[in-house]
Every structure is written in structure tokens, then in C-alpha cells.
Structure 1
Amino acid sequence: MQGFKEVFKEVSLAILPITAAVIALQVLLVRLPLELFVRFLIGAGMVFFGLALFLQGVKVGLLPMGEAVGGELPKRGSMPFLLFFAFVLGFAVTVAEPDVRVLALQVDVVSGGLVGRQTLILTVAAGLALFVALAMLRIVLRVPIAWLYGVSYLAIILLSFATPAAFVPIAFDSGGVTTGPVTVPFILALGLGTAAVMGGRSSFADGFGLVGLASIGPVLGVMLLGMLFG
């Protein structure tokens, strides 16, 4: 129960300021239709309680499970086994990410169906999953993460000149939406769990940076998708 109180406090600090700001704008300046304003208040309440339950679920379920899985996979002693399941888990959590689905819906609507929802979701999920597997490989092989960042962002810069202009901003937004409330806790927990069981490793040094690295995958994936559609 104590943990749930802390979650409610965190959600209150996140939701109440924006709610208060909108209420102030409604009273002092904007004066939107009453029906729309009431719907906003109801929606804010649903977001508050839904987010509180979601974050509690992350703390009691996703984080422990991610660390447990990350700790068990390297013990199997098979690199292909580790990389395969890192890819599968990365793909699965991205497909479940609400932010990715919101972006896919918006792109589908704006493009008039040219880029379908499922096409974009699967592209983003595959890109992130590939880089989650690459991040696990980096931990095992002790490759400096700065090298991977340098090579990956160089590839992004080069591809941005060949990708149709309309797809470049979508690609960068695709990387941003993968840093959502489902993907981030699981990827971090997976990395920390993997680093913790590797002998002589620092969970602090090896377990972090995975989210930033993984988010590069969707950017590259959507740029390649743009070149295909273009």
C-alpha cells in the first residue's frame, strides 16, 4: 500500500499541473464549450487513475520480470539464444507501446493510408528489437557504447539525405515514441539484469544507455521504409 501511495504522489505531480493550467485557461481566457471542458475533466480523471494503476503494474510486474529474464538469458551460455530472445522481447514490448500506436494512427490518417498503421508499427518494432539485441551483444562483448552511438548516428545522418523529406520527421518521432512507459522499464530492467550476472561488470556502466541505443533502430527502420515507399 505504501508503494501505491508513492505512485499516486508521482502521478499527481505529473497530471495535476497541466489540468490546473487548462482549467485556468478555460476560466480566464479560452472559454471552450462546456461539453468539451467536461469531457476534458472526465478524461483527466481517467488518465490519473489509469496511469497510477499502470505505473504500479510496472513496478510490481514489468521491472522484476525484466530483470529476472535479463539475468537468466546469459546463464544459458548460448549467444544466439540470448540475441534471439532479446529481439523477440524488444519486438513484443514495442508492439504493446501505446505511444507507438498513437503515432501510427496519426501517420495513417495524415498520409491517407499510404503508410498503414500496422506497417509502421511493425517497422518500428523490428528496428527497436534489432537494436535491443545489439545492445545485449554490446554488454557481452564489452564494446564501448560511444562507438555504437557514433556509427549509428553517422548512418542516420547519411540516410537522411537519401530518405524522402516527408519520412525524415516521422523517423525521428518514431525513435521518440519508443521511449514510452512500456518499453523503457522493460529494456532498462533487461539490460540491468544482463549486466548484473556478467562477471566483473558494472550494472551502472553497462545497464544504462540501452534506451537511447534502442531508439536508434526505429529511426533507421522508418528511413529505410521511406526509401522503399519513395
Structure 2
Amino acid sequence: MREVWTQFKEVVMAILPLAAVIIILQYTLIGLPPDLFFRFVAGVVMVGLGLFLFLVGVHIGLLPIGDLIGSTLPKTNKIWLILGTGFVLGIVVTIAEPDVRVLSSQVDDVSGGEIANLTLVYSVALGVGFFVMLAMARTVFNIPLKYLLLGGYGVVGLLALFTPATFIPISFDAGGVTTGPMTVPFILALGVGVASVLRGKSSTSDGFGLVALASIGPILAVMVLGVIYG
């Protein structure tokens, strides 16, 4: 119960400043029509309720199951299973990410359907899955994070030379939307769980850096799409 109350206070403190600023502007400068202002207030209430329920769900469901999966996989002593599970989970959690859906629908509209909604979603998901698998390999084989980041962004810079200009901003936006409320909690919990078993509790920092690596995958995936469609 205390955890639920804590999440409620966090949501209120996150939304209240924005709502207060809009209300002050409404009665001082903007003067929105009453029906539009009422919709704003109703929207704030629904967003707050949704965010509260989501955060409660993350803490009672996503984080524990991600940590449990991460801490169980290394005990199998099967590297292929650890890497394969990371790949699959990276894909499915990205497909469930609402931010990715928003970006893909906007790109679909702007491109006139040339880049289909699902094409972008699945491409981004494959990119995330591959780099989550790479992050699992980093933990298993104790590879320094800086080498993977430098190599990943080196490939990004090289591929950008061959990618049409219109795809480059979309690719970096794709890297940003994958760091959303579904992907980040689950992937972080998964990484910390794996690292806590393989490296010990004193080295759980090895479980971090997954999000930084995972965000490279969508950038590369969309750039590859740009090369294909270009």
C-alpha cells in the first residue's frame, strides 16, 4: 500500500506543475474557449490516472518479472539461451512500446504510405532486439561498454553517408522513442538481473548501459530502410 501511495504522489508532483502553469496562463494571457479548457482539465485527469496505473503496474509486474528472468537465465549455463532470450524480449517489448506506434503512424502519414506503419515498427523492433542481445553478450563476456558504443555510433556515422537526408532525422527519433515507458523498465531490470548473477551484487552496474546500446539499433535499422527505399 505504501508503494501505491508513493506512486500516486510522484504522479501528482509530475503533472501538477504543468497543469498549474496552463491554468495560470488561461486566466492571464491565453483565454481558451471554456469547452477547450474543460477538455484540457479532463485530459490532465485521465493522463494522471493512466500514468498512476501504469507506474503501479511497472513496479508490481514488469520490474520483478524482468529481474527474475534476468537472474534465472545465467543459471542455465547456456549462452545461446541468454542471447536468444534478450533478442526476442527486445523485439516484443519494442512492439508493445506506444511511442514507437506514434512515430510509425506519423511517418506513415508523412510518407503517404510509402513507409508502412508495421514496416517501421518491425524494423525498429529488430534493431532493438539485436542490440539487447549484444548488451547481453557484453555482460556475459565482460566487454567494456565504451567499445560497443564507439563501434555502434561509428557504424551510424558511416551509414549516414549513404542514407537519404530525409531518413536521418527519422532514424534518430526512432532511437529516442524506444527509450519509452515500456522498454526501459523491462530492459533495465533484465540487465541488472543477469549482471547480479554473472558479476555478483557488487557489479550490478554492469546491467546498466543496455538502454544506451538498445537506442543504437533503431537508428541503424531506419538508416538501412532509408538505403533500401532510397
TM-score > 0.5, shorter chain as reference:
yes
Q: Does 1:190 align with 2:190?
A: yes
Distance 2:220 2:79 in 1: 25
Q: Aligned AA for 1:13? A: M
Q: Which runs of 5+ in 2 are unaligned?
A: none
Match of 1:26 in 2: 26
Distance 2:19 2:116 in 1: 33
| CA pair 147-202 structure 1, distance change in 2 beyond 3 A | farther
Q: Which runs of 5+ in 1 are unaligned?
A: none
Whether the 8 Å CA contact 2:176–2:215 is kept in 1: the answer is yes
State the Cα distance separating 1:201 from its structure 2 match.
Answer: 7.0
Matches within 5 A, 1:151-230: 151-199=151-199, 202-230=202-230
Q: Which moved more, 1:16-25 or 1:55-64?
A: 16-25
Q: RMSD of aligned C-alpha atoms?
A: 1.2
Deviation track 1:59-90 (CA, whole Å, cap 9, x = no partner) reads 01100100000011111111111111111111
Q: Which moved more, 1:142-151 or 1:108-117?
A: 108-117
State the Cα distance separating 1:23 from its structure 2 match.
Answer: 1.8
State the Cα distance separating 1:213 from its structure 2 match.
Answer: 0.8
Q: Aligned AA for 1:31? A: G
State the Cα distance separating 1:98 from its structure 2 match.
Answer: 0.9
State the Cα distance separating 1:39 from its structure 2 match.
Answer: 1.3
Whether the 8 Å CA contact 2:19–2:44 is kept in 1: the answer is yes
Whether the 8 Å CA contact 1:108–1:116 is kept in 2: the answer is yes
Distance 1:13 1:116 in 2: 38
Distance 1:32 1:222 in 2: 40
Distance 1:144 1:191 in 2: 15
State the Cα distance separating 1:204 from its structure 2 match.
Answer: 3.5
Distance 2:95 2:138 in 1: 24
Q: Aligned AA for 1:28? A: T
Partner of 1:162, secondary structure, is coil
Q: How high is the TM-score relative to the length of structure 1?
A: 0.96
State the Cα distance separating 1:45 from its structure 2 match.
Answer: 0.5
Q: Which moved more, 1:74-83 or 1:178-187?
A: 74-83
Match of 2:78 in 1: 78
Matches within 5 A, 1:8-47: 8-47=8-47
Whether the 8 Å CA contact 1:195–1:202 is kept in 2: the answer is no
State the Cα distance separating 1:154 from its structure 2 match.
Answer: 0.8
Distance 1:54 1:116 in 2: 29
| CA pair 118-51 structure 1, distance change in 2 beyond 3 A | same
| CA pair 199-23 structure 1, distance change in 2 beyond 3 A | closer
* Aligned residue-pair number: 230
Q: Aligned AA for 1:45? A: V
Identity score, percent: 55
Partner of 2:161, secondary structure, is helix
Q: Which moved more, 1:204-213 or 1:180-189?
A: 204-213
Match of 1:58 in 2: 58
Whether the 8 Å CA contact 1:192–1:203 is kept in 2: the answer is no
Q: Does 1:98 align with 2:86?
A: no
| CA pair 224-202 structure 1, distance change in 2 beyond 3 A | farther
Q: How high is the TM-score relative to the length of structure 2?
A: 0.96
Whether the 8 Å CA contact 2:192–2:205 is kept in 1: the answer is no
Match of 1:137 in 2: 137
Match of 1:68 in 2: 68
